[in-house]
Structure 1
Amino acid sequence: MLSKRRAIALDKSSVKKKLSLPCSCAKNCQKQFSVQEILYWRQRIHCIPAGEERIKKLAEMIQLCAITIRKYERDSLYRINQKLCCRHFFTETVLGISIPTLTRAKRAIQENRHDLNVRTPRVGTNGVRGRVCEGFIAAYMNAACDRDPTGNIFRMPAGLTKLDLHSLYQTIHKDGIGKSKFYNILDSKYRNLVFCKNQRFTKCTDCHNFRCLIEKEQDTQIKSDYIAMRNLHLKEQQMEREAYYVRRGQAEMRPKEILSLIIDGMDQNKTDLPHYCKWSNPSGAGQQKLRTHITGSIVHGRGKYFFIDHGQIPHDTNLSLSCLMKILSNESHNGILPPTLYVQLDNTARENKNKYFLGMMAYLVKHDFVKEVYMSFLLVGHTHEDVDQCFSKISQKLKEKDALTMPNLEALIFNSQTPQPHVSKVNTVWNISGWLEPFINQVHNITFPKMYRVQKDGTGHVYVQYKKLSTEEQWHPTSDERQLEIFKLDDVGCQMTPPGIPNQVHPYMAEEDIQTLMRSLDKDFKLAQFTDECTNWWKEFLASEILGSNEETWPTLNRTTEVDPMSTLSEKELDLIEKYKEKRSQFKEVFTKQGTDRRKYKKNDMVVVKISKTEVNIGEVRSVNGEDLELNIFKRNKGCFTSTDHIVSVRLSSCFATGFQLTNSKNIPSKIKERIAQENLKLV
């Protein structure tokens, strides 16, 4: 709420009163300015709370407007909108502040500047086109770039240069700013944008091939075709990433209706134990490490999960599905999940993109644990997303701190994330692939699509559909394509699903590898970093826990329930949505109140029709058929215009927009003649 003083300063009537009073100087400053101009300048000051921020803003305005800046100069002048005014008018009328406040602002300027007579240069903004350019760059950064774990550094797709980015900008904004100004904006306002020659993460084959073709090609036309194809590929990956952000946002806004998650695995060689932060391996340490692997997941709007194993189970689809089932069980409310499930996965066929993962999603839908499941995948080589940023934060933490034991690693992961995640060891993995194998069909070309949808029809039959890209509209298979039947059918056409629960995968590590690790750790135990607590943990772990001992139960889920759409929105928000839908369904005619309507010529009206760029004819309207006119052409004969009985059909767009009648002497009215002459046309 504004204070009384600030409210008076922003009151229109008080400004009018100020402008009605004569200025103390001889310049009559008050006559040069309007009320709106004064209010604009006052709002820039009085909408900021009193304090350092307001003084700083006031100092900027003084530097912008003052011709000279001296602390106590009474005769100083100020330039506002190219108009000069005195100090008294500038202070009390334009800004609505007191002289002491102005003096404090000038003192702040003097304390921060060496040369008081040099005005601070104005920063160029390039106007509206510059702001549009900045919006384009910011939008492209958010949609197409890979972010560092800090979120401050954006890395462009490999091989994309500043010139390429400017070309993309020019294709959208043809009247945009030039290349030099574009580069200036990049260098001054987007210093955190990095252009990479090589891809830091998984390489995209298409990007690499396009880059090689563009660099080697000499023909400019062929090279431009390659660039256009590369830009189309980048546009596709940008749209796929934006579609993922939309699904993520939906889940965050409607948690009772949608559950969205992304799951992926971290690089294995970064978290090997024991881990030393200052060096890869100190002198005297053993060479053999315990290979650990982290499976991470972000449940959007809910939390993060990290599961740690040490190579005792295979890293395949059973591990991914077991982690997923634990997450779903933990995120359920009394065993009940939201009806819609979004799962964002990596393109790895061994772990995610296979018939077993698809079959498990169909199993969840078949038994009504969820109503529908959407499995989506980003383009290969462009899959660095939010979960990978979480892994990068763990890597950064490992550079700062030792992780000598499994509890050390768990604590390090726990403290590396905000908000703090769920961290646990993988004690049990279920053989879900073997459980599903007898009941699901082989799926051909399963790696081709980027999105799958699993739903159930009115008869309880589960069906699977797919799209090549998630941004396409058409779902496949269509009625004339081969159907995608995930479950096998019995003799009467019912889908068969596996009974009971899957068996557990038995952990395994070669005895030779365990012995090698024990001999290597004997050297580590002698280092100064190892305390008695760390040594005792390793001995106990190698003796009993390395192959796992704490078995877990199969996650239990209950049938999902229907929820009202938009159940998380208030009544006011629902009312606004209904009004918006109603407004969208309305139609309003766009028109002007111009008296002449070229579509409504009357029968027997005379019309001027253009037959070429320089020639016109006149004719009498016989009939109007939609956008066509049927005319009887008239010609000049012995000083007057008479009918030729030659009937032609012409378009309305080629006729002058008003009809007329011949004069009593059968000639064209003078106004029509003047218009024909003004258009530099010839009557034939």
Structure 2
Amino acid sequence: MMASVPLRDTTNQQIKHRQGNGTRFSKQTSFESVKYVLSTHCCENECCRQFTCDEIKSCRINYWTKTMQQQRRYLFSSLRAAGSHKLLVLGREVCETGWKAMYGIGKRRLWEIKKLLAKKSDVPYGDLPRLKKPSVEYLQAKTWLEIYARQFSERQPDKEEYRLPSCITKQAVYDLYKEEMIKAKQKVLGRSSFHEMWQKALPTVKISKGKGAQARCTPCINMETVLMNMKLPKDIRKEIEEKRRLHLNLQSICRSKYYKHIKKACESPDKYVSLIIDNMDQAKTRLPTFSSNSKVEAHLHKVQHHVTGVKAHHLGKTFILTWTDQFHPDCNITINALIYTLHEISLICDSDS
């Protein structure tokens, strides 16, 4: 019983591609390699001498124009189909040594395939699922980005998302990472790999831009405009980037102080009170609000209302105050909201005691 698995012919375009770019392909299909097969003493039957140079070269071209994985599959299926019998090349019987010489198959590669067959594997080793171990550069970049996001990002109140300041870009973040890694004499992850790691490992960390972004501070807008839209000398650009770094550090310090006061108020509510006051976006508080606007209603004047929220962290409560344009939106509104909230908190404390 004899068995063989036919090799699929490849196109001239694939052959030219491998000839132009594959050094190993050129070596295996060269005249010297083909001539060497004819002089190979494989067995007493001299299997290789029954083929011509053109036939040997054709077999090698068909084999070496395949990808590495396709070659593994061919070797695996050929040896499994043949079993203990001889193999076939172009319909003629050959021994294993002659079959190996015909295609230029390496000893180690053939040994690995035979080892899998001995284990009764159903697929060659290239088809087995492999666990990709992250590199040291990948893990260092991920750790650096986690620390950077923890220091400079701000959690969104309505969803599990962390926004970095709007005055930076992904390229600026990568440049900062690269600079710190070079200073620490560590290997740097490539830019595309860094962005891919960011997208996969930390998808909730985003830069606050576009639709849904919160209001931005004036320094952030000014620095973003200058760095993104103007061609500047290197020394001036470096000076602005340094100012941006100091500005972001100040934001980080203020944020840390804010969370520190929240922690103090929650741990010792009898000593400390932590409040935060903010106004709602005015564009969303014009009344009446319709689900759809007609042309007649579009030009009509709407009554502007204002909503001020005061959150007491140690109580876990939020106090809401509404007011109209009859009151001027200045510090008096903030002071009144603060006095009202403190009065309400005192009443709550008195009722609890």
TM-score tier, shorter chain, comes to 0.5 to 0.7
Identity %: 23
Q: In the alignment, is the contact (CA less than 8 A) between 1:252 and 1:300 conserved in 2? A: yes
SS in 2 for 1:332: helix
Partner Cα distance (2:323, 2:289) in 1: 16
The separation in 2 between residues aligned to 1:170 and 1:123, in whole angstroms, is 24
Aligned to 1:332: 346
* CA distance in structure 2 between the aligned counterparts of 1:314 and 1:231, rounded to whole angstroms: 36
- Identify the residue that residue 206 of structure 2 maps to in structure 1: 194
Alpha-carbon distance, 1:176 to partner: 5.5
Does residue 255 of the first structure (1) align with residue 269 of the second (2)? yes
Pairs aligned (count): 217
How far apart, CA to CA, are the structure 2 residues paired with 1:334 and 1:198?
42
Between the aligned partners of 2:150 and 2:142, the Cα distance in structure 1 is 12
Q: Distance in 1 between matches of 2:334 and 2:289?
A: 25
Post-superposition offset of 1:300: 0.8
Q: What is the match of residue 125 of structure 1? A: 134
- Structure 1 CA distance for aligned equivalents of residues 277 and 310 of structure 2: 4
Map 1:71-470 → 2, pairs under 5 A: 118-127=127-136, 130-173=138-181, 174=184, 175=186, 177-180=188-191, 181-195=193-207, 200-215=213-228, 216-276=230-290, 278-279=291-292, 281-282=293-294, 285=297, 287-302=300-315, 303-332=317-346
Change (3 A) 1:333 1:134: farther
Distance 1:204 1:308, change over 3 A: closer
Q: Which has a greater percent of helix?
A: 2
Question: Any unmatched runs of 5+ in structure 2?
Answer: 1-125
Provide Cα deviations, 1:484-511, integer angstroms capped at 9, x if missing partner: xxxxxxxxxxxxxxxxxxxxxxxxxxxx
Contact conserved, 1:133 with 1:176, CA < 8 A, in 2?
A: no
- CA displacement at 1:184 relative to structure 2: 2.4
CA 323–282 in structure 1, closer or farther in 2 if over 3 Å, else same: same
Unpaired runs of 5+ in structure 1?
1-116, 337-684
CA contact (8 A) 2:265 2:271 kept: yes
Higher strand fraction (1 or 2): 1
* Contact 1:329-1:335 within 8 A present in 2 as well: no
Q: How big is the shift at 1:296?
A: 0.5
Partner deviation per Cα, 1:128-184 (whole Å, 9 max, x = no partner): x54443343234334423444433333332241222112333454432642334222
SS at match of 2:264: helix
CA gap of 1:331–1:135, structure 2 versus 1, over 3 A, is farther
Would the alpha carbon gap of residues 314 and 208 (structure 1) be closer, same or farther in structure 2, given more than 3 Å must change? closer
Matched position secondary structure for 1:150: coil
TM-fit CA distance, 1:193? 2.9
Per the normalisation by structure 2, the TM-score is 0.53
Displacement of 1:260 in angstroms is 0.3
Amino acid paired to 2:131: R
Change in CA separation of 1:321 and 1:132 when aligned onto 2, cut-off 3 Å? same
Query: Equivalents in 2 of 1:207, 1:323: separation in Å?
Result: 29
Secondary structure of 2:303 counterpart: coil
**CA positional deviation for 1:318:** 2.7
Q: Distance in 2 between matches of 1:168 and 1:251?
A: 36
Contact 2:280/2:309 (8 A) holds in 1: yes
Shift of 1:273: 2.0
Query: Please, what is the CA RMSD of the aligned residues?
Result: 3.1
Other structure's SS at 2:287 match: coil
Distance 1:271 1:140, change over 3 A: same
Partner Cα distance (2:270, 2:179) in 1? 42
User: What are the within-5 Å matches in structure 2 for residues 4-23 of structure 1?
Assistant: none
8 Å Cα contact 2:141/2:189 also seen in 1: no
- Change in Cα spacing, 1:159 to 1:220, as seen in structure 2 (3 Å) is same
- State how far apart, in whole Å, the 2-side matches of 1:182 and 1:143 are: 19
Q: Distance in 1 between matches of 2:222 and 2:286?
A: 35
Q: Deviations over 1:8-61 (max 9, x none)?
A: xxxxxxxxxxxxxxxxxxxxxxxxxxxxxxxxxxxxxxxxxxxxxxxxxxxxxx
Provide the rounded CA distance (Å) in 1 between the counterparts of 2:326 and 2:304: 9
- TM-score scaled by length of structure 1: 0.29
Is the 2:278–2:308 Cα contact (8 Å) retained in structure 1? yes
For residue 235 of structure 1, report the CA deviation from its aligned partner: 1.8
| Alpha-carbon distance in structure 1 between the residues aligned to 2:295 and 2:224 | 44
